[in-house]
Amino acid sequence: MIEILTSGVALGVHVPGLLLADRIREQGGTAQVRVLESLMRPETLETTARSKQAFHRDFRVALAGQKLARNAAVATDSAAVDRLFTDWQQRGVTRFVVFSGFWLALLEQYVDAHGPVPVDICHVDSVQSPSFDKAGSVELPVRHVWLADAAGGLVPCSIPVTRDAPVPWTSRDHRLLVHGGGWGMGTYRERATELVDAGFALDVVAYEQRDLSGDGVRYFMIDPDWHPWLDDGYPPFGPAGAQPVQRTGHHGSFDLCRQALASVSKPGGGTLLDSLWSATPLVLLEPFGAHEQRNADLWISLGYGISFEDWQRKDFAVEVLEELHAALLTADVPDYSKELL
């Protein structure tokens, strides 16, 4: 029994955990995903939801909030934590895979009380992300697993988003996917306007009704009333104005990514994962912190992505994207889910 520990404050952390659980189950293993925020009181979750909206509306607020964020484990409810520890004992958890550093202090408590259990820290970003920085030091023995490695300049292993082969370049829609990650952060809306002016057709992920500008762009939305701590499924997703669908196997936005010529976004770890398994190049926007800048640097060095400014200087040439796509097709990366089993 593998317990996968994520956080709902970033879909780029939570969705890879869901993907890992699905890939383990497909191979006959047993896995369950637990979201840290499921241990929090309703009033705390209301504050988190308000922060998500504020971060989406103003990227400067998001950057400031990242610097001020505290260790979220201190906001958990002690009774909920006790119930979780009892559940782990009863189900006989044999390994933990941690996607958010905010779990580490709780895991240390569990191991102190119930004995050692192997712990993997699965890094979605190419360097240590802020949740692990803010977690502070713990004495817990862990194994570090990297889905991207800035120091080594490589992708050591990965979690397949799907087992399907990438869509051939000549079969793709002549469109770009433009988004701001799970919380809709960054400068993607401004860049979308520039890309429309350059003549591109766009699929844009909107995050609230006020994002829909009616400019002829195809808009898609994650259900704004859904949060990761409400259920253990993927974000309900679909065309704006239609009933969102909660897809199984992988997240709905990946289907758009597979068909696109490029994904235009800030360089979050989940975005790198989508790029790798769809062989869809990244046009990289301003990062959300230093760790995302390292992600961008890695993807550019591997020939998998290009900064928006550099692509603009190349007159937004589609041939540039095709070269990046060809490089992604050559990636041969070990499957972390197979190694776990």
Which residues form the domain of 146? Answer: 2-159
Strand spans (E) along 223-295: 237-239, 262-265, 282-284
Residue 147, SS3?
coil
Same structural domain for residues 29 and 142?
A: yes
* Whether residue 7 is found in the same domain as residue 147: yes
The DSSP bridge partners found for residue 311 are none
Q: How many domains does the chain have?
A: 2
Count of beta carbons in the 10 Å neighbourhood of residue 89: 13
* Per-residue pLDDT tens digits for 228-267: 888 889 999 999 989 999 999 999 999 999 999 999 999 9
Structural domain includes residue 111? yes
Rounded to whole angstroms, the Cα distance separating 270 from 120 reads: 18
Question: Which CATH number characterizes residue 258's domain?
Answer: 3.40.50.2000
Task: Look at 162 and 224; give whichever has higher pLDDT.
Answer: 162
Report residue 185 as tokens.
């952060």
The answer to whether residues 179 and 328 belong to one domain is yes
Same domain, 62 and 209: no
Query: Are 203 and 257 part of one and the same domain?
Result: yes
CA-only gyration radius of the chain, Å:
19
Q: What percent of the chain has pLDDT over 70?
A: 90
Beta bridge partners of 284: 265, 307
Tokens 């790029």 sit at which residue? 275
Considering the domain architecture, whether residues 265 and 187 belong to the same structural domain is answered as yes
pLDDT (tens digit per residue) in 39-67: 988 777 666 655 555 444 544 444 444 44
- The H-or-E segment that residue 238 falls in is strand 237-239
Residues 92 and 112 in one domain: yes
pLDDT at residue 8 in the model: 86
Same domain, 269 and 139: no
- Residues 227 and 313 occupy one common structural domain: yes
Domain boundary among 123, 138, 159: 159
Does a structural domain hold residue 337? no
Q: Does some domain include residue 187?
A: yes
